[in-house]
Structure 1
């Protein structure tokens, strides 16, 4: 069904789409390639920033008059509604495209096949499904938000070879090497939000932001003014957040989540970039499902950087989708602190299923990416 040209052009569109992965949220990453009747590329582009032109717009602007009678390859169904930009399906029609090849339909209820119908209704040949799996991998967070109403959840963990995160006395700086810590900064930059717990704040006083000077090679691709800081979320069920916490002093949005109202005087003393929200609790702790539903209004993907209790709770509740583990070539001993606090499983059939997706060296450490099944 698919020609070698079809596969080559969609592969290029997917490659282009990846260029926007640090700057498009909460929009999806999308790439587009336009070829003429001879198979030559006459236009291409990718969605570069939310609120800016979509991938198709960049491609047809580059193609100009050569777009008429041409074929477009798009990694996601062209939009059919007016948002911050006009519908791309309408633009493809107006620029005289003859054929549009789509990797996957858009699960956004505002689109959901309407873009395809609009193109077909205008007499354009539309085929879809080419490299659909690869296209889905471009946008796990966007798809999760559209299909499940919650963000895609990644747990970031760092441990020794014997599965410990710190010595018994709590000392943990630094288990991993500088290359792994740089990689974590890039991981934060990929996510809409970073979640931690109040115990981590009280113990470590973290900043939780992306430090541009520590992005390493990514600085060559991403200007400091292009960096989108993630929302920093602190689960503070009993309202124990100190006003002098470092993360409150740094610019960038912060969300404090509790199960009870914060005192009025505390809220009045907070900087303008800090917001408080009260969500339902379970046994005195924030209901994680309610939290993800709340964040799903605007966040595609979230990164959990927390201690064993909160990280384990995401797994126990079946709410963690992916685990990224930085494993250091160190042994901390039996008395060290454990990686995750999980229930006392009685049978192997009860434990979460882990699928290794990627394993690579990051400096002296190993980085393992695992999907979590329940």
Structure 2
């Protein structure tokens, strides 16, 4: 008599596949700047598209100048942002001034575009207390240095907005390394349980400082970590500003409608080091990998798209670059003119 094949308790491979298959990458613009998913095209006017590009170019200049100022000894701590402009600025562009931004230390650009004066951003980098003195109507918290701690804070702020019946959301950012922290799970779980209006953005730039993404978690995607918290998760092409905007707008609409939080994983890349505090990316990244991601540059991709629509040209871009340089020059002078902090000795 033939023996029957014993059924396993769980088909592990099928279970993992069923979960991972739900998190396909959302993309609207491909690497050539072509629209590949017109059904997801966000409802943005020509003026809004130009404004988003302006912010991205301006921020790329800020990154370049900040690196130079750091090397001159005129800035303190700095985490480069080049490559992550779409992930940072297109997500922020889907917000309103009433929304709250809880940044990590790489997310100073979102703070600036939310209303933080550039001079204060420079003072924050220098560790000056004035850099953490925000206007009462600026809905921003200071950049969190402790990895992932802003996730728990975001859950609390979001619950406060819900209890006060505010038509606003909280957005918070961390990197792929932050998604391995206990605070990440605790914050998402809390927000999910109370349907708090929060948006959790994991900017997956593939390396938590120097640790490759595949060594951080056995999960096929970081977006699927939302499942354990009972909230939706989305993986999006983080080098595609239109896709990032569309996904964030979707998450914000859900949150203000009372449907709770969303986890967004943006697939992106930082072209520079983790920070300028001694990190050397050549020790853990290859030239081939750098070259592969340079072809996905969010500014190049968006520029191609806008030029095809007749909305952007070299003259406009140069004007933005020069404006950024002037504003940076003025702001660093203001930071230099700010009275130095005085040490206080206890008697």
- TM-score w.r.t. the length of structure 1 is 0.27
Q: Which one has a larger percent helix, Structure 1 or Structure 2?
A: 2
Q: Which one has a larger percent strand, Structure 1 or Structure 2?
A: 1
Q: Which has the higher contact order (CA 8 A, sep 6+)?
A: 2
- TM-score w.r.t. the length of structure 2 is 0.29
